[in-house]
């Protein structure tokens, strides 16, 4: 049954989920209780794929969504088709508002993200955050693949957090918050989980650690920080404002 959760209930749920360690148990509990008012929201990266695999093993119906910025890699679009076939699911593509994108491009150009941090955040706002906000109106539980080891700025992320949509409270859950990159790769290999081919190292040993829009995501060299490949041209201006985040996990 679809319903919107109340504040007292979301606080109780937060306590319950915080006590659970096993990601599969967390996913089972959330989808059993909330059905399609819970969703794994993923860009097809490794943590999201682990969660899809665990949810599929639980044998309950589960909802998967992605924010399709219209600027994803062709390999990523093809990968989503492959994931749908493998798990017998439909990944909902949540897209930006066409009018808002056209206005932004008319005023600032297609490649505005090169101009300044502010314009990069504006582009992320139009293409990612606003679609995410619309998606949140349909959810009580947002399941995300964020992990503490992904960057300095994510080291304080919590497994559970109460956030607000425009209309109601939402429990944001990161079941893999404590997993390391090694944990994720071990799981993927041991369970034959599909991997976006872009995550495999190229001939020079360079690889994507973080994958999003084309141009704004690049491969990193061994030894570089995990998010050095995001908005690479900003690396030279390493300020507090330059947090290597699109705002999805801060602005909402
Ligand atoms: S990652 Fe780049 S292209 Fe994608 S929404 Fe952000 S600024 Fe725009």
Distance (Å, whole) CA 177 – CA 180? 9
246 is catalytic: yes
The pLDDT of residue 65 = 98
The pLDDT of residue 243 = 64
Residue 75: Cβ-neighbour burial (10 angstroms; 0-12, 13-18, 19+) = middle
Q: How far is CA 211 from CA 12, 31, 87, 108, in A?
A: 34, 26, 22, 24
The pLDDT of residue 150 = 77
| Cβ of 71 less than 6 Å from ligand 1 | yes
Alpha helix segments (H runs only) across 138-221: 181-191
Tell me if 176 sits within 8 A of 51, measured CB to CB: yes
For the CA of 113, the nearest atom of ligand 1: 7
Strands 169-173 and 160-164: antiparallel
The pLDDT of residue 1 = 37
The pLDDT profile of the chain, 252 residues, written as one tens digit per residue, is 344 566 778 888 888 888 888 999 999 999 999 999 999 999 999 999 999 999 999 989 999 999 999 999 999 999 999 999 999 999 999 999 999 999 999 999 999 999 998 999 999 999 999 999 999 999 999 999 999 987 777 788 889 999 988 888 999 999 999 999 999 999 999 999 999 999 999 999 999 988 899 999 999 998 888 778 889 988 877 554 456 666 666 555
**Which residue among 123, 124, 216, 246 is the active-site one?**
246
CA nearest 218: which of 198, 246, 196, 197? 198
Q: How many CB atoms lie within 10 A of CB 36?
A: 14
Tell me if 162 sits within 8 A of 172, measured CB to CB: yes
The pLDDT of residue 244 = 65
The pLDDT of residue 72 = 97
Question: For the chain, which residues make up each domain, given as ranges?
Answer: 7-197
The pLDDT of residue 238 = 54
The pLDDT of residue 108 = 97
The pLDDT of residue 2 = 41
Distance (Å, whole) CA 106 – CA 101? 8
CATH superfamily assigned to domain 7-197 = HUPs (3.40.50.620)
pTM of the full structure: 0.90
Tell me if 50 sits within 8 A of 184, measured CB to CB: yes
| Cβ of 113 less than 6 Å from ligand 1 | yes
Q: How far is ligand 1, taken at its centre, from the CA of residue 106, in Å? A: 16
Q: How far is ligand 1, taken at its centre, from the CA of residue 120, in Å? A: 6
Residue 91 is inside which H or E element, if any?
Answer: strand 91-94
The pLDDT of residue 213 = 96
CA nearest 44: which of 88, 22, 71, 75? 75
The residues with which 161 forms a beta bridge, in sequence order, are 172
The residues with which 38 forms a beta bridge, in sequence order, are 141
For the CA of 123, the nearest atom of ligand 1: 8
Query: What are 194-233's pLDDT values in tens digits?
Result: 999 999 999 999 999 888 999 999 999 988 887 788 899 8
């Amino acid at each position: 049954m679809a319903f919107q959760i109340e504040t007292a209930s979301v606080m109780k749920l937060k306590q319950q989920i915080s006590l659970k360690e096993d990601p599969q148990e967390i996913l089972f509990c959330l989808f059993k209780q909330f059905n399609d008012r819970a969703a794994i929201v993923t860009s097809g990266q490794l943590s999201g794929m682990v969660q899809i695999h665990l949810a599929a093993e639980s044998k309950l119906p589960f909802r998967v969504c992605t924010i399709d910025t219209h600027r994803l890699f062709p390999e990523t679009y093809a990968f989503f088709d492959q994931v749908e076939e493998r798990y017998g699911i439909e990944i909902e593509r949540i897209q930006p508002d066409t009018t808002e994108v056209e206005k932004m491009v008319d005023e600032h150009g297609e490649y505005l993200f090169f101009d300044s941090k502010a314009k990069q955040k504006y582009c992320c706002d139009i293409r990612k955050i606003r679609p995410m906000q619309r998606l949140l109106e349909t959810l009580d539980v947002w399941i995300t693949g964020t992990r503490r080891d992904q960057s300095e700025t994510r080291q304080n992320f919590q497994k559970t957090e109460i956030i607000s949509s425009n209309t109601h409270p939402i429990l944001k859950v990161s079941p893999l918050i404590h997993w390391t990159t090694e944990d994720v790769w071990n799981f993927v290999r041991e369970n034959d989980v599909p991997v976006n081919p872009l995550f495999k190292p190229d001939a020079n040993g360079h690889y994507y650690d973080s994958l999003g829009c084309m141009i704004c995501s690049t491969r990193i060299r061994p030894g570089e920080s995990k998010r050095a490949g995001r908005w690479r041209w900003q690396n030279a201006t390493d300020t507090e404002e330059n947090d290597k985040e699109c705002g999805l996990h801060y602005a909402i």
